[in-house]
Chains A and B, each alone.
Chain A
Amino acid sequence: MLAALALALLPLLIKSDFALTILVFSFLLGMLAVSFNLIFGYTGQLSMFHAAAFGISAYATHLSMSLLGTSFWIGLVLAALLVLFLSVIVGTICFRFRLKEFYFAVVTLAFSEMARLIILNWNSVTNGTLGIILQEKPRIWLPGQGIVKLDGTLMWYYVSLIGLALTLLVCWRLVNSWMGRSFAAIRLNDELGDTLGINVFRYKLAAFSVGNMIAAIAGGLYSFFLGSIEPGFLSIDQSLAIVAMVLLGGRGAVAAPFIGALVLTTLPHVIHLGAELRTIVYGSILIFTILVMPQGIYGSIAALTRRPPHAI
Chain B
Amino acid sequence: MGQLILGQLLNGAILGTLYGIIALGVTLTFGITGIVNFALGAFMMLGCYMAWYFTDGLGMHYAVAVLCAVLVTSFAGLIADQTLFRFTRNNLVNGLLVSIGLISVMEGAALLIWTSTPKNMEYVLPGVFSFFGLVVPKMKAVVFLVLLGVILATYAALTRTWIGRAAYAYAQNPEAAELMGVRTKILQSGVVVYSTGLAGLGGALYASLYSIDPTLGAVYILKAVEAAILAGIGSVIGSLFGGILLGITEGVGSIYLPIAFRDAYGLIFLIAILLFKPAGLFAGRK
Contact = CB atoms under 8 A, between A and B. Distances in A.
Interface string B242-276: 00000000000000001011011001101100110
Given A101-B92, A102-B92, A110-B271, A287 B105 contact: yes
Interface in A81-101: 93, 97, 99, 101
Nearest to A114: B267
Contact of B112 (A99, A276, A285): A276
A101 B111 contact: no
A287 B84 contact: yes
Interface in A229-285: 236, 240, 243, 247, 274-280, 282-285
A283 B94 contact: no
Contacts of B82: none
Nearest to A40: B93
Given A106-B229, A277-B108, A97 B275 contact: yes
A66 interface: no
A80 B219 CA distance: 31
Given A102-B36, A114-B267, A291 B275 contact: no
A199 interface: no
Interface in B95-133: 96-98, 100-109, 111-112
B109 A280 contact: yes
A247 B104 CA distance: 16
B36 A107 contact: no
A291 B82 CA distance: 13
A213 B106 CA distance: 34
Interface of A: 46, 93, 97, 99, 101-103, 105-107, 110-111, 113-114, 117, 120-121, 236, 240, 243, 247, 274-280, 282-287, 290-291, 294
A120 B258 CA distance: 13
Contact of A97 (B264, B268, B274): B274
A276 B108 CA distance: 5
The 10 closest A-B pairs by CB, nearest first: A283-B104, A279-B108, A286-B101, A280-B108, A287-B101, A283-B105, A121-B260, A110-B267, A276-B111, A283-B101
Nearest to A46: B93
Contacts of B229: 103, 106
B210 interface: no
Given A97-B275, A117-B264, A291-B84, A106 B225 contact: yes
A1 B264 CA distance: 47
A106 B261 CA distance: 19
B263 A283 contact: no
B274 A290 contact: no
A279 B97 contact: no
By secondary structure, the A interface counts as: helix
A106 B263 contact: no
A223 B102 CA distance: 30
A290 B98 CA distance: 7
Nearest to B97: A290
Contact of B264 (A101, A114, A286): A114
Contacts of A284: 101, 104-105
Contacts of A121: 258, 260-261
Given A111-B267, A275-B111, A279-B104, 20 more contacts: A46-B96, A97-B275, A102-B36, A103-B274, A106-B229, A107-B270, A110-B267, A110-B270, A113-B222, A114-B268, A117-B264, A276-B112, A279-B108, A279-B111, A280-B109, A282-B104, A282-B108, A284-B105, A287-B98, A287-B105
Contacts of B103: 283
A75 B102 CA distance: 39
A181 to B, nearest CB: 22
30 contacts: A46-B96, A93-B275, A97-B275, A101-B92, A105-B96, A106-B225, A106-B270, A106-B274, A107-B270, A107-B274, A110-B268, A111-B267, A111-B271, A121-B258, A121-B260, A236-B218, A276-B108, A278-B108, A279-B108, A280-B109, A280-B112, A283-B101, A283-B102, A283-B104, A283-B105, A284-B105, A285-B101, A290-B101, A291-B98, A294-B94
B263 A280 contact: no
A190 to B, nearest CB: 15
A174 to B, nearest CB: 22
B97 A277 contact: no
B104 A101 contact: no
B278 interface: yes
Interface in B175-223: 218, 222
Given A121-B260, A276-B111, A280-B109, A101 B274 contact: no
